Chains A and B, each alone.
Chain A
Amino acid sequence: MAERKTIVIDPVTRIEGHSKITIHLDEQGQVEDARFHVTQFRGFEKFCEGRPFSEMPSLMARICGICPVSHLIASAKACDALLAVKIPPTAEKLRRIFGLAQVVQSHALSLFHLSSPDLLLGMDADPAKSNLFGVLEKEPQLARDGIALRKFGQQIIEQLGGKRIHPAWVVPGGVSDPLSPENRDGILKSIPEALAIAVRSIAWLKATIERFRGEIASFGNFPSLFMGTIKEDGGLTFYDGKIRFVDATGRVVADGLNPGRYFDFLGEKVESWSYLKSAYYKPKGFPDGIYRVGPLARLNVSDRCGTPCADQELAEFHELQRSAVLSSFHYHQARLIEILYSIERLEQLLNDPEILDPHVRALARPNSLEGVGAAEAPRGTLFHHYKIDEQGLIRWCNLIIATGQNNLAMNRSVLQVAQHYVKGEKITHGMLNRVEAVIRAYDPCLRCSTHAVGQMALKVQLLSPQGTVLDEVVRS
């Protein structure tokens, strides 16, 4: 009698954090299930209990070295709600600038440094070459462009926040310091080059993805809901707005939802095989309430970007499919469009006549014992929810992070790719790389929910139900 088998990919490479994938084969050797496991433990919600609420932005920024700005912003907004203050208009604009710079540098990391080897060298490339060094051998300008965009975003963060990683500039009630004319002019001066890079990168990607029709068809190409924050006019935003859900046909399922009441429409489920919770849209229940967040979702829910070049690209993006754009392979293109939007929007904000106003912080004591802050992080909608006591000490904290919201979709995507590409009992690098690449398309940030140590080696084993190793591939 034939045996059921399991393929384990542990850990998954070129993503942020540690995870593994298991692929379960039936007696005929066909893929019957696949799971994306997050193998790190997260403790931030617990260990912040008892800390003064004013420490939360700095504490929460430590969740991640890639997207600390998003946690700073969401956390500070939750603290604004505790203070029950309206922050000064210039502080809000400066926070927007901060967040957009983060989008540029984070998306550039994902696309240019982590996913471009797949896109440039192909999914079946030699694993020894399928990395940044392979990219700089084959297309050095692309590598230089990635570095330049990362530097552009990081320099803005550094100029505003004082340092690139874990800046403490965003504070409850606003920001700690105003923007100086020198820094504003310096950033403005760097915008034309960044814009030119974004434009030619989109042109490169659109030409490149023609070679990936098979992957587009099978990389998370399934119906689901999409969630994102939009402005009142339906425009793309990263800082504030209302929540919109659209379904796979592009129809608006829910609109104008208050992110401060996320618990009314989002549920979370814990699975025994992963430390990452799975979020779902409550009205549809679990698991039918599967939804996606992040660049693909934001562009699916947005009617417009509100900046000229990005709007042209968005219109073209919406034409990729008559319905919502369903394939998760298109996260890459969506990411570049958001980079383009962010650069254009940065220029608008920096040219705002009030942007140098020194009044950037509202001071107050806590006026509410509960507060929610939400923002669009590069990877998707981020919620911070705090409850404090009369002394201002944190008594309860809940974080809903993009990667958790994409968890169901990532699992389904892994299954789809595995069913399409995994054949028989012999493991090939191309097969494995595609399974990993679909996860990379989501750009999961596992550090956002956990704490990571160690190296990212890749070990794949094909196991019998008794645990016998039938095949093994190791990458160091």
Chain B
Amino acid sequence: MNRILIIAYGNPLRSDDGVAWQAAEELERILPDRAQVICVHQLTPELAEAASCSDLVVFVDASRDGNPGSVLCQLLSPESGDFHFSHHLTPQEILVICHRLYSAKPRAFLVSVCGECFDHGEQFTPAAISAIPRVLSLVRTAMEDRFPSSFEDAGTF
């Protein structure tokens, strides 16, 4: 796995919604130079071009679904579907653009941290903080191409 792109997205002024940015900060510190880490508020079409230059893309975000502090990992593919765009996209839509415009199909995962509080604020809840080590672990696992056999945190493969 040579070229790795981590896309962390969320709003760091909305408490746990910004937990992906916090995880990205850790990832930037521990990942090798061949990994590029991008933090954005929302997914926009330009990211498809960056994804097209990568072998592995890991999207990291915060979610309201599930138990606070749980981490969900999902394998993504650029399947066709009913897509819309106004100002932001889903990870799958990024992959569709990546495929259709740049003929690239990087291996891709979505790692979602279930947050507890999405109110205005820059502090994370203990639940969100506790999930960060598992995010790092999942990203490392993805980089080592060990999915899905060693995957433990439940995902929708």
Contacts and interface: CB of A to CB of B under 8 A. Distances in A.
Interface of A: 13-14, 16, 62, 65-66, 113-114, 128, 131-133, 136-137, 140, 143-144, 146-148, 150-151, 154, 163-165, 456
A13 B86 contact: yes
A136 B83 CA distance: 12
Given A140-B101, A147-B101, A150-B44, A113 B49 contact: no
B146 interface: no
Nearest to A140: B101
Given A140-B100, A147-B101, A150-B44, A133 B49 contact: no
A136 B82 contact: no
B83 A150 contact: no
A137 B48 CA distance: 15
B140 interface: no
Given A136-B100, A164-B40, A150 B46 contact: yes
A165 B102 CA distance: 25
Given A128-B82, A136-B101, A147 B45 contact: yes
Contact of A165 (B40, B85, B97, B100): B40
The interface size bin for chain B is 20 to 34
A424 to B, nearest CB: 29
A165 B84 contact: no
A-B pairs with lowest CB-CB distance, top 4: A132-B85, A133-B83, A151-B46, A456-B86
B34 interface: no
B27 to A, nearest CB: 17
B41 interface: yes
A16 B101 contact: no
B96 A133 contact: yes
Contact of B83 (A131, A143, A163): A131
B46 A14 contact: no
B29 interface: no
Contact of A14 (B40, B41, B86, B100): B86
Contact of B46 (A65, A137, A154): A154
Contact of A150 (B45, B86, B96, B101): B45
A144 B101 contact: yes
A10 to B, nearest CB: 15
B42 to A, nearest CB: 8
Nearest to A117: B85
A165 B84 CA distance: 23
